[in-house]
Each structure stands twice: as C-alpha cells, then as structure tokens.
Amino acid sequence: MKFQLKHYKKAASIQLKPTDDISTDPERPVHFSIAWFRGTGDLSKDKQREATAALFATLKRVVEENGNALTFTIVKACENCTYGHFDDPFEAAVLDARGSVPFCTDKNLPFDKHPELSTERPLMFHIAHSRSSDETFNALLKTAGAQLAIEVEIVEVNN
C-alpha cells in the first residue's frame, strides 16, 4: 500500500498517511502519528520545528536506505485501532528522538492495561482502522502478527 511520510513544517509534526484518501471522515484522516507536540511546553515553536525537521531528515534517510519501503507488524489489534512496530531502524530513530526531545507519547499503548504484551519497547505507533473505508486494509489491521507492506513517498508541507 502506498503511503506518504509527511513533514508538516509549521505544525512541527510528522505523519505517515495513505496516498489515496481512504478516510470515512475527511476531518479525521487515517494516519500514523510519528512525531508531534501538544502546546509548547519547555520548547518554543521554533525549537519544536527544528527538532521535527531533524527527525524528518533522519527518517527520510532511513526510508530511502530501505528502498522507500517500510513494514508495519501488527502486535495488538483493538476494536477501533491497531498498534504495532515499524522496521527497527525507523522505530529506533523515533525512540532516539523521543529521548532528547519532548515529543508527545500520549498515544502509546498503555501496557498496564495489556499485561500479556512484551514491554521491551513501547508500542508507540497506531492507526485508526475504524476510520477507513478500505475493507481489505481494515481486515488486515485486525489480524495480530500480520504485516502491512508500505511503499513510502517523502513529502514536505509548509503548513
């Protein structure tokens, strides 16, 4: 499936979105949130933009080194959304950035509610399949252990 790794420069966020609009609600698009902030906290908006740009440059390199492809492995398929892991180099780059920059982590799967899962590394990536109109995509994302092969296009957006 084709996705776009999008860097929203002004908003200081990074998302991975399907290239084709498969959202049932245009106001709530289907996407993986990769990096974002809530408010400014201790970082000015300019510092947030700098941190996001640095992470995006790293992710762009990682994706390009992997032939513009990623794999998302499903770990926990919930009723409305699915949690899982991306390829190790991609995920390691995000974890490394989170170690030095206060990107939001409020969408990580809470392990205290899922004691059956390994807590080796956070389940920080999720996608709301309930918002998708693509039935094949939805069925795949409801299958623990399944893998979503993603062809990635790199996009920078000024807003």
98 φ, ψ (degrees, to nearest 5): -65, -25
* pLDDT per residue as tens digits for the range 52-108: 999 999 999 999 999 999 999 999 887 778 889 999 999 999 999 988 888 887 777
Using a 10 angstrom Cβ sphere, with 0-12 exposed, 13-18 middle and 19 or more buried, the burial of residue 18 is buried
Q: Are 85 and 75 in contact (CB under 8 A)?
A: yes
Structural domain boundaries enclosing 103:
2-157
Q: Angle at Cα 106 formed by Cα 10 and Cα 73, nearest 5°? A: 95
Number of domain units in the chain: 1
pLDDT of residue 40: 61
* pLDDT per residue as tens digits for the range 10-35: 999 999 999 988 887 777 888 888 99
* pLDDT per residue as tens digits for the range 110-153: 777 777 877 777 788 888 766 788 888 888 888 889 999 999 99
